[in-house]
Amino acid sequence: MANTTIQHLMNRLRKVAARDLIAIESFVAELVQTNAISVALERRVEKTDSCPICGEKRIQKWGKSNAGTQRFKCRDCGKTFGATNGTAFYRLRRRALWTRYLGLKGQHISLRDLQEKHGFKQSLSTLHRWRHRFLASLAKEPGDKLAGLIEADEKFFRTSFKGSRGWRDGNAPQQRKPRKRGGASQRGLGQEQVPTLTAIDRSGVIRQVRLPDLKWLTIAGELKSWVEPESVICSDGNLAYKTATIQSGCEHIVAKGRQGHNAAGLSIGRIDAYHRDVENLINRRCMGVSTRYLMNYFGWARRMKQHKPFGNECLWKCYCPNVSSDNLLFPASH
């Protein structure tokens, strides 16, 4: 834009009422954000510099889509693709709004409040889809390896079919009546319990997974893929932990009782505390979540425990893992 046009625009802004200025400010902030995302997505393609379809490294810019997304064309296979290909922004409208949504996510604002108090005009089902589109990527994020002193334990969650239409459509899940949401789980594995495995180390790395069953081979298989050799695993006396420890070249210490310590002064208190946090998120704050989304909520709980905010940095890590966001100036989410 020519300098004179910009000057003209600014002069006109001087005459705008304070109230309107605030509206303009948020409009401009949203534009800046959208633009920053577009630039970042474009750079991501330029950096990988290869065609997502055939893998050849001969791509060229090929105009912009109506939404303003840079498009590319492969000179080998002749296919065109947009900068959002393979990212969470693919076919997502109003990108800036989504980063704002993420910014609010850490504050745990209910979807209904997003509509009523934060001006989101999307339907509840759209907002719900956004939540899981994002959380699913977070849950898939490969966690760091656990090292040093590691606590491990299983935890049961009640199965839930929250949101299921089975009851309405005469096809009740598990052939049972609907029941009140949330609720504490009891130990033992029935059809109404989902087993999960958690491990946590002193540096704050947390791994948690939903298990298909409670066989010791299953537990050992998961756990040994998480730990660095020569670590110390502290758990109950389950054979699974002993096996995982041997197979991964670690040392095993049996924690004594729920409250007590053993001779080495070790307990699994950290993991108990973490499980209470997860339960709090799932059963109280979210008032029960459907079992099919359980892993997504584990990702959420983990992020909160590690005191990492939701926001742009998080977005990049999940969706553009190979591109650093350092050199991109994002305005803070507001």
CA distance 196 to 213: 9
CA distance 36 to 167: 46
Which residue, 159, 210, 166, is CA-closest to 181?
A: 159
Give the phi and the psi of residue 199 in degrees, each rounded to 5: -140, 145
Q: Least distance in Å: CB of 46 to Zn ion? A: 15
Contact flag: residue 53 with Zn ion (CB under 5 A): yes
Q: In this chain, which stretch among 76-84, 92-100, 106-114, 270-278 interacts with Zn ion, using CB under 5 A?
A: 76-84
Q: Least distance in Å: CB of 84 to Zn ion? A: 17
Residue 122 near residue 320 (C-beta atoms within 8 A):
no
Can you tell me which of 76, 141, 228, 236 binds Zn ion, judged by CB under 5 A? 76
Q: Least distance in Å: CB of 67 to Zn ion? A: 22
**Regarding beta strands 206-210 and 149-158, do their DSSP bridges make them parallel or antiparallel, or are they unpaired?**
unpaired
Q: In this chain, which stretch among 73-81, 129-137, 156-164, 303-311 interacts with Zn ion, using CB under 5 A?
A: 73-81
Token look-up 């839930």 returns: 160
**Cα atoms in the 13 Å half-sphere on the side-chain side of 62:** 16
- Residue 57 or 258 with smaller CB distance to Zn ion: 57
- Residue 56 or 277 with smaller CB distance to Zn ion: 56
- Residue 79 or 112 with smaller CB distance to Zn ion: 79
CA distance 155 to 211: 10
Can you tell me which of 23, 54, 246, 273 binds Zn ion, judged by CB under 5 A? 54
Residue 91 near residue 84 (C-beta atoms within 8 A):
yes
Can you tell me which of 23, 31, 77, 124 binds Zn ion, judged by CB under 5 A? 77
Residue 239 near residue 216 (C-beta atoms within 8 A):
yes
Q: Least distance in Å: CB of 56 to Zn ion? A: 5
| Chain residues 273-302 in contact with Zn ion, contact rule CB under 5 A | none
Which residue, 146, 155, 143, 151, is CA-closest to 233?
A: 151
Q: In this chain, which stretch among 46-54, 176-184, 210-218, 305-313 interacts with Zn ion, using CB under 5 A?
A: 46-54
Contact flag: residue 314 with Zn ion (CB under 5 A): no
Can you tell me which of 45, 74, 139, 233 binds Zn ion, judged by CB under 5 A? 74
Contact flag: residue 51 with Zn ion (CB under 5 A): yes
Contact flag: residue 85 with Zn ion (CB under 5 A): no
Contact flag: residue 58 with Zn ion (CB under 5 A): no
CA distance 192 to 25: 51
- Residue 70 or 243 with smaller CB distance to Zn ion: 70
Structure letter (DSSP) for residue 322: T
Token look-up 């070790």 returns: 266
Which positions lie near Zn ion, rule CB under 5 A?
51, 53-54, 74, 76-77
